[in-house]
Structure formats: C-alpha cells, structure tokens
C-alpha cells in the first residue's frame, strides 16, 4: 500500500520535474548562453526577457509610432520598424534581438550581408520555394520566366491593365483608390501566371490566402508558451485552419480537373503554366523530383505571397511618388512616349526604359516590400569574424541599409531617382551589397523579371493616358503588414492628357 502511494506521488512528481527542467533549459539556459556567446563577440542588443523576449516592447513601440500622424515624407523607418530603428541607434548596425525565445541576429553592415547571402539558405513563408528542400521547386519557378511563356505573360499583363483602364475611363476627374485597383490587377496577373487558363479559380484561392495572411499577421507578435496557445484555441486559429483547408480543397480540385482532361484524352499535358509544371512534378516517378499534394499547395502559396503583395505595393507607392513629384512624372511620361508612342508596350522597348527603372529602384529603396531577408542555419557557422551558435535566425536588414546616410548621403530620405542615373555602384557610394530589394546570392527573387515587366507595363499604359495628382483625401500612413502598405489606401485623381 505504502509503496503504491509513493509510486502514485513520485511518478507524476518526477515527470513534472523533468518537464520543468526541460522548460527552464529551453527558455532560460539556452537563451542566456546564446546571449553570452554573442555579447562576448561584441554583439549587443536588448536583454532577453523570460519567454516573451523583446516582442512586447516592439509591439508597444510600433503601436505608438503608428498612432501618430505624419506628413508626406519618406523617413518612415522609425515609424514602421521603431524597435529595429532604436536598436540600431543604441547597439549598432548588428545586434541581437529576441523574437520570444528565438534569437535573431539582425545585420545591416554591407560586408556581413554579402557574406551571409552566400552562406545561408533561406526560409521565408510556408514550406514553399524558400526552404532548403526548395531546390527542385526553384528550378520549376525559374523555368516559367523564359521565352514563349514570358511573351504570353506580357500579353496577359497588357490585357489585365487594359481591363483596369477601361474601368478607370468612367472615373476621370473623380477619386480612385489605387492600392485596391492594383490589388485586383496584381492578383489577376499572378493568377494568370500561376494557373494559366484556370486563373479565375486561382483568384478565389488567392482571396482565401489573403484572408489567411491577415489572420496570421494578427498573430505574429503573439508569442507565448505553446501549451497555453493550444488550450486557448483562439478564434483566429480556427479561422486559419478553415481557410487552410479551403485552399487545399480548391487546389486539389483544379489538379483533378486537369488530370481528368489528360485521362480522357482532351489534353496531352497538364499545362505549360506554373501549375502545369507542378502537376508534372506531382506525377514524377523519380522520388527525388516528386512533389506531394501538400508541397504543391505550398508552392502556390509561396508564389502568391511572393508575387502579389510585393508588386501591389510597388505600383501603389510609385504612383504616389509620381503624383507628388510632377517633374519625375513628366520625365517618365516623355520617355514612355518616345519609346512606345501610343502603342502597347513591346518587349524591346521595355528594356530601354531607363528613367522608369531609376524610379522603380528609388521607390523600392524607400518603400521596398521586404524589411529584411530571414535565414536560419541549423549548424554553428562562421559569419565574417563572428562564430554563431546553431539555430540562430539571421535577418539581413535591407531597410537599415537602404536608409543609411553614410551610404546614400544626407538626402537619403528624399525621393531622388537621379541618384541611380549612373548605376547602383555610384548611388551607393561604391558599397557592394548596399542595395538588394530583390535579395542577394543564390536565393534571390525568381520573379524579378515578372515584377519588372509588370510594373513597367502598368505604369507606361497609365502615363500614356493620364496625368496623376494626389487627392486631398490622401492621408500618408505607411504600415507594415508583410510588406509596407498605405494604411488608408492611396487616393489619386486622373486627368486625361491633352494629346488624347
Ligand atoms: C517588387 C516586387 C518583388 C520584390 C521586391 C521581391 C523581392 C524578393 C526578395 C527580397 C526575396 C527573397 C530573396 C532572399 O531571401 O534572398 C524574394 C524571393 C522570391 N520571390 Fe520575389 N520579389 C518581388 C516580386 C516577385 C514576383 C512577381 C514573384 C513571382 C511571380 C516572386 C517570386 C519569388 C519567389 C518564388 C521567391 C523565393 C525564391 C527562393 O528562395 O527560392 N517575387 N523576392
Ligand atoms: C499563433 O501563434 C502561436 C505562437 O506563436 C502559434 O503556435 C500558432 O500556431 C499561431 N496561430 C496561427 C493561426 O498561426
Ligand atoms: C535597378 O536595380 C536593378 C537590380 O536591383 C539593377 O539591375 C539595375 O541596373 C538598376 N537600374 C538602375 C537604373 O539603377
Ligand atoms: C563615401 O565614402 C567615403 C569613403 O568611404 C566617405 O569618406 C564619404 O563621406 C562617403 N560619402 C557620403 C556621401 O557619405
């Protein structure tokens, strides 16, 4: 009896003790050890706080910064990433930050960033193209931005822009909110690119993905003990699960439709669009190349997240910048008219647009969609002079670099596309790796060509028809939601050109 009692008490007690020790080891010992290792190499940062790390402070600071009104200036770093901004000022260009219990080494020194780009393998959103295993998928993605497919894409973009402009015809002289307009445009373009003829179904999938990203971003700063999160099961999590299931079902349906067509002999392949390539890989008999259905859904997710929001923001901010800098709007228009006249943009002309490219680069510098490139390395690695413990996240802060007056000069916060007139090297005071909105090294953006031609075509076709001014209703409030978005949209007014 006595022995049984002891057993009944001791067993749970020792389980509890083991769990407690494991918990303290993970949430206290490891973080403090990593902090010590980095501090001793000269990397400082805000001290680790038990379980929550530095996220509470960051959330608080962001909330406060965003609550203040701002004038139409481009000095937005202290507003959209106030914690990072203040850490750089306080601890230097490279510092250690705690995302809950996860250590993040933030780097904004060009030399380190350059090294990092070639050591680390990237993990961005989902398990899609951006993971270590993503090599075969990356090849797939690279395959679609070539030759015939690229030509098809140009025509699809022109058709999509044309649809948007038809709608705008009735709105001349009235207010138009372009962030929303470009959301419809970029969704259609990315959907046509990814899903080809099935693009209408694709758009529905993207609608669900968009909702999912909003739900997830609400949850981003929500660090806590995993156990409690499970117990609470907040409504957000339920919604996210439902959306994820809806997305999976819809993708399966499109895949099934295409498979049926091939089985019935109505088609002899699964399609030459991105999805077609993915379905081929899904049917691959070679295990090394085979994708699972889950992989396939992940690829679609990555493609959408990487390709829609980014171009959406770029186009919207570019229109704002041109609306508020009439001289550059006029220069860009003159170039477009010289190269295309009133014709549709052709591929040869697109590559000749120099002023437009300078404006794109300057817009990406000031309002680029990515704040930093995240990497995780499972092993201990050497980065420059630093020896980093395993499992540390590394974030190359392009937002820090792109706003560094030592590189760009005292006019760093001004919109001055002419800084790119003699190339990037000159603009960055000859610092390699000081400008990398499309990423660096082997993992850089596979969609750069698409992003560039999409932006050039849309802007050219708008400038051929209208002059753009800002509506008095516009309130400048950039806010970080995955990319940097205009919180209240971007309201503009169009006037037809005299020559039309
Ligand atoms: C203005 C537009 C865009 C910007 C600024 C941009 C920027 C980036 C950046 C910074 C990365 C991460 C690179 C790294 O971690 O080293 C990336 C990756 C990626 N981007 Fe883009 N991107 C844009 C548009 C697009 C478009 C239109 C697509 C697709 C249609 C796309 C597809 C991808 C993919 C698939 C990856 C992951 C590549 C890999 O690591 O395998 N992006 N992009
Ligand atoms: C919310 O965050 C917690 C903790 O970071 C995570 O475990 C959970 O999966 C997240 N919920 C959703 C819907 O992503
Ligand atoms: C703009 O940036 C891209 C790469 O990000 C570069 O290839 C191009 O030369 C730049 N163009 C100008 C005019 O700065
Ligand atoms: C450019 O770099 C040089 C040497 O690194 C430095 O002396 C100069 O001040 C920099 N120029 C600007 C505009 O910051």
Q: With both helix axes pointing from N to C terminus, report the angle between 326-340 and 448-465 in degrees, rounded to the nearest 10.
A: 100
Query: d(Cα 275, Cα 284) in Å, to the nearest integer?
Result: 14
Q: Which of 170, 210, 297, 165 is nearest to 483 (CA)?
A: 210
Residue pLDDT, tens place only, 229-247? 444 456 778 888 899 899 8
**Ligand 4 pocket check for 409: Cβ under 6 Å:** yes
What is the length of the chain? 500
Residue carrying the six token digits 């909003």 = 214
Pocket of ligand 2 contains residue 212 by CB under 6 Å? no
Ligand nearest to the CA of 99: 2
pLDDT at 4 over 70: yes
Binding residues for heme: 445
d(CA 383, CA 108): 13
Q: Which ligand is nearest to the CA of 102?
A: 2
Write out the binding residues: 445
> 429 near 288, Cβ under 8 Å?
no
**Nearest residue CA, atom 9 of ligand 4?**
406
pLDDT of residue 24: 93
Is-above-0.85 flag for pTM? yes
User: Which atom belonging to ligand 4 lies closest to the Cα atom of 405?
Assistant: 14
Tell me the pLDDT tens digit for each residue of 149-197. Answer: 788 889 999 999 999 999 999 999 999 999 999 999 999 999 888 888 7
Task: Give kind and range of the element (H or E) at residue 29.
Answer: none
In this predicted structure, what is the pLDDT of residue 41?
96
Provide the mean pLDDT of the chain: 87
Q: Any idea which ligand is nearest the CA of 221?
A: 2
Q: Whose CA is nearest to atom 19 of ligand 1?
A: 445
Best residue for ligand 1 mutational test, from 126, 196, 302, 306 (most atoms within 8 Å of Cβ) = 306
The residue contributing the CA closest to ligand 2 atom 14 is 216
Q: Where are the domains of the chain?
A: 108-496
Atom 31 of ligand 1: nearest residue by CA position:
447
219 Cβ closer than 6 Å to some ligand 2 atom = yes
Ligand 3 atom with the smallest distance to the CA of 438 is 5
Centre of ligand 2 to C-alpha 159, Å, is: 40
Both tokens of residue 165?
A: 């402009």
29: exposed, middle or buried (Cβ count in 10 Å: 0-12, 13-18, 19+): exposed
Q: Ligand 4 pocket, 426 CB below 6 A?
A: no
Residue 436 pairs in a beta bridge with: none
Cα of 402 from ligand 3 centre, angstroms = 14
Categorize the per-residue pLDDT at 500 as very low, low, confident or very high, splitting at 50, 70 and 90: very low
**pLDDT single digits (tens) 362-392:** 999 999 987 778 887 778 888 888 999 988 9
Q: Which residues sit with their C-beta closer than 6 Å to ligand 3?
A: 357-358, 361, 420, 423-424, 438
8 Å CB contact between 296 and 278: yes
Q: Does 229 contact ligand 2 (Cβ within 6 A)?
A: yes
Most confident range, picked from 192-196, 293-297, 402-406: 402-406
Segment 55-90, tens digit of pLDDT? 999 999 999 999 999 999 999 999 999 999 999 999
Nearest atom (ligand 2) to Cα of 219:
1
- Contact (CB, 8 A) for 423 and 320: no
Work out the percent of the chain whose per-residue pLDDT is above 90: 54
Q: Which CATH number fits domain 108-496: 1.10.150.120, 1.10.630.10, 1.10.3720.10, 3.40.50.2000?
A: 1.10.630.10
Is it the case that residue 123 has pLDDT exceeding 80? no
Query: Nearest ligand, CA of residue 358?
Result: 3
């Amino acid at each position: 009896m006595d022995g049984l009692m002891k057993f009944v008490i001791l067993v749970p007690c020792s389980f509890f003790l083991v769990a407690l020790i494991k918990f303290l080891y993970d949430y206290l010992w490891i973080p403090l050890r990593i902090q010590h290792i980095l501090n001793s190499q000269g990397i400082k940062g805000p001290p680790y706080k038990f379980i929550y790390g530095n996220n509470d402070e960051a959330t608080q600071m962001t909330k406060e910064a965003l609550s203040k009104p701002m004038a139409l200036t481009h000095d937005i770093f202290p507003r959209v990433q106030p914690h990072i901004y203040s850490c750089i000022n306080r601890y230097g260009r490279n510092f250690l930050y705690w995302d809950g219990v996860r250590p993040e080494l933030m780097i904004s020194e060009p030399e380190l960033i350059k090294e990092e780009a070639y050591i680390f393998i990237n993990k961005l959103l989902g398990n899609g193209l951006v993971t270590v295993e993503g090599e075969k998928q990356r090849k797939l993605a690279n395959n679609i931005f070539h030759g015939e497919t690229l030509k098809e894409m140009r025509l699809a973009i022109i058709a999509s822009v044309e649809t948007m402009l038809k709608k705008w015809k009735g709105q001349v002289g009235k207010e138009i909110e372009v962030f929303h307009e470009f959301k419809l445009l970029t969704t259609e373009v990315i959907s046509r690119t990814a899903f080809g003829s099935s693009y209408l179904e694709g758009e529905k999938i993207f609608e669900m993905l968009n909702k999912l990203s909003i739900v997830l971003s609400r949850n981003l700063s929500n660090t806590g003990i995993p156990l409690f999160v499970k117990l609470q099961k907040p409504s957000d999590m339920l919604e996210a699960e439902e959306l994820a299931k809806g997305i999976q079902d819809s993708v399966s349906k499109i895949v099934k439709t295409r498979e049926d067509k091939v089985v019935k002999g109505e088609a002899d392949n699964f399609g030459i669009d991105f999805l077609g390539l993915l379905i081929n890989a899904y049917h691959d008999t070679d295990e090394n190349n085979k994708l699972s259905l889950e992989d396939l859904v992940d690829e679609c997710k990555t493609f959408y997240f990487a390709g829609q929001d980014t171009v959406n923001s770029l186009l919207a901010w570019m229109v704002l910048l041109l609306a508020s800098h009439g001289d550059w709007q006029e220069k860009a228009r003159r170039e477009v008219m010289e190269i295309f006249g009133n014709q549709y943009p052709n591929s040869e002309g697109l590559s000749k647009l120099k002023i437009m490219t300078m404006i794109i680069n300057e817009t990406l510098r000031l309002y680029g969609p990515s704040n930093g490139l995240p990497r995780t390395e499972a092993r201990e690695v050497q980065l420059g002079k630093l020896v980093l413990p395993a499992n540390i996240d590394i974030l190359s802060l392009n937002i820090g670099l792109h706003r560094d007056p030592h590189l760009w000069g005292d006019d760093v916060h001004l919109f001055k596309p002419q800084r790119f007139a003699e190339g990037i090297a000159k603009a960055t005071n000859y610092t390699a790796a000081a400008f990398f909105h499309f990423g660096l090294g082997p993992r850089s953006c596979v969609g750069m060509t698409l992003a560039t031609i999409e932006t050039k075509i849309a802007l050219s076709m708008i400038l051929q028809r209208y002059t753009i001014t800002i509506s008095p209703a516009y309130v400048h409030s950039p806010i970080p939601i995955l990319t940097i978005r205009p919180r209240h949209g971007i309201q503009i007014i169009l006037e037809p050109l005299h020559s039309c």
